[in-house]
Chains A and B, each alone.
Chain A
């Protein structure tokens, strides 16, 4: 990515124009109201700022931009939600990226495999039954735990868990060949 190596602003603008509306849509759209519009805009700014600063560590041979930006976005959201919590002690607090790694795999055999799997995952996701993809969306987009999803959808916890496992099995069946 030229953004990382040459600090190329035009390249960064292209990344921004492509991903910023998706980051907003991930958290705020007709189907998801995980964040209100204003907070989603704020998150977009935080994520893209991090993307600019971390671009030198990105390597498109190891992961797609969407996977990498997803990791940064998840961590920004964790930080953002945490800022509003009362149990927050500055001492002992470690960086969110220390707990949720956003670096890319460094072993060639592994990252090549993972890169190949990404397309299968994207295709597989479109082919999932709605009841399974819906739960994945709740977990990822709304950041809900399995037990929160089970309460909200009035489904037994076991059903939520088995739908997630089934979905993962279907996605991975595409590349465990």
Chain B
């Protein structure tokens, strides 16, 4: 049961194509896992359709249709071509139960961009950055060991995340598979993974997190941030 959803504003930015690629990947993962938000997304697409049909018609170049048909005749029709199946995810992640039932968008992303460079941030946390061909957000998978307690931290920029497997809690609530997480600057939290299994999350952050307290003074300058 998914309990945490993106708000309507964020869904509209996503459906209208005005949300950046990094957070849109997270939105896509959530929307594919959440029937409620999928239905909202279709409503927002219908709104786009209504805006399109109510647009003022503008004249095109005189031979626009003929130009298009010439182009169509020059390229082979894709109609009969088999669409490649979603036999995705890399070998490294295929056997890993944390990667079971991934939404389609992440299977595609992993197929193009195998997650094999996991970094141990601590005993409790592993991070694997994935390249997504944009320059504003660092996009990565986070894996919290079961029962792991992360240090309390603040966010220097917006963070968008979706839980893929397992669950964690902080003082805002409990987050399980499919739940959407948004944290902005000033939202300090201390995530703790539940003890039954590892928790896998997918996130896009606009700036590195900031660990609070004395240890933060030492560690924060060392936290890497590599958008892409």
Residues of chain A having any CB pair with chain B under 8 Å? 7, 9, 13, 16-17, 19-26, 28-31, 40-41, 44-45, 48-49, 52-53, 56, 63-64, 66-71, 73-75, 77-78, 82, 85-95, 98-101, 105, 110, 113-114, 117-118, 121-122, 125-126, 136-137, 139-141, 143-146, 148, 161, 164-165, 168, 171-172
- Count how many chain B residues have C-beta atoms less than 8 Å from C-beta atoms of the other chain: 63
Among the listed B57, B105, B131, B228, which residue makes an inter-chain contact with A22, where contact means beta carbons less than 8 Å apart? B57
A163 to chain B: closest CB distance in Å? Answer: 10
Which one of A30, A88, A89, A113 contacts B56 once the chains associate, using CB atoms below 8 Å? A30
Which residues of chain A are within 8 angstroms of B156 by Cβ–Cβ distance? none
- B contact patch SS: helix
Q: Separation in Å of the A57 CB from the closest CB of chain B?
A: 10
Q: At the interface, yes or no: B51 with Cβ under 8 Å from chain A?
A: yes
Given A13-B65, A29-B58, A99-B28: A70 and B18 interface contact (C-beta under 8 Å):
no
Please judge, given known A-B contacts A70-B45, A98-B104, whether A23 and B72 are in contact too, CB under 8 Å: no
Q: Given A45-B64, A70-B52, A99-B24, verify A25-B9 contact (CB < 8 Å).
A: no
User: Is A143 a contact partner of B108 (Cβ separation < 8 A)?
Assistant: no
Q: Out of A66, A110, A113, which one reaches B52, CB within 8 Å?
A: A66
Point out which of B15, B16, B38, B136 has the most chain A C-beta atoms below 10 A from its C-beta: B16
CB of B116 closer than 8 Å to a CB of A? no
Query: B97 — which chain A residues lie within 8 A by C-beta?
Result: none
Residues of B within 8 A of A17 (CB): 65
Give me 15 A-to-B residue pairs in the complex whose CB atoms sit less than 8 angstroms apart, sorted by A's number: A21-B57, A22-B53, A22-B55, A23-B55, A24-B59, A64-B49, A69-B52, A77-B17, A94-B109, A99-B25, A110-B39, A125-B51, A164-B9, A168-B12, A171-B43
